[in-house]
Every structure is written in structure tokens, then in C-alpha cells.
Structure 1
């Protein structure tokens, strides 16, 4: 998966996001993405797109 936001996230955040995606917990996943310390913080549109990409990548 090629996604600049995903690539910039720390491993711990990626693991947490994937766990939340598996639970279909979009709001908490987006919170983790936005609070992961990226500068600038991803916008909501980027976060929703990343959630959808991860759900597809994880077979959901």
C-alpha cells in the first residue's frame, strides 16, 4: 500500500489503527491518525481515505 500518511505514521500507531480497522471503529482510528504527531496533521478527508484503504488491505 502506497500512502504518504500511512508511511509517515509510527509503527505503534499503524498497529493500533489496524486493530481499530478490524473492529470497524472508524472514529477512534481517525483520532489515532490525527494525534500521531505528524506535522501537518492529516485532514479528515485523508483520514477517511486511509481508513478505507486499510480496510480494503485487511480484507474488510
Structure 2
């Protein structure tokens, strides 16, 4: 399952996968500076839930 998170310092949406020996992560998208952090966190949560449901 893919878990999504944000990096508010670098303004990025990140996807991560557990491998059993650690996690792998990659940048999915850059977001505009000044984007509401709470909105980005809600997006990450919604994407994680969608991944879990799939």
C-alpha cells in the first residue's frame, strides 16, 4: 500500500512504500509555495485512504 505525505519545507507531495526492511519514497509532485499545509495534509490522507481501499 502506498502512503502519502507532504514535505512542507520543500513543498512536495511524497509517496512511500514499506519493503519489510525499510521504506522507499519518491517525490510525486511539487506544490506551490504558500499552499495551505492543512489542505495538503488532507490531500495526503485522502490519497492514502484511496490506496488502502484499492
TM-score range, shorter chain: 0.3 to 0.5
Max Rg structure: 2
Structure 2-normalised TM-score? 0.42
> TM-score scaled to structure 1, two decimals?
0.39
- More strand, by proportion: 2
As a proportion of its length, which structure holds more helix? 1
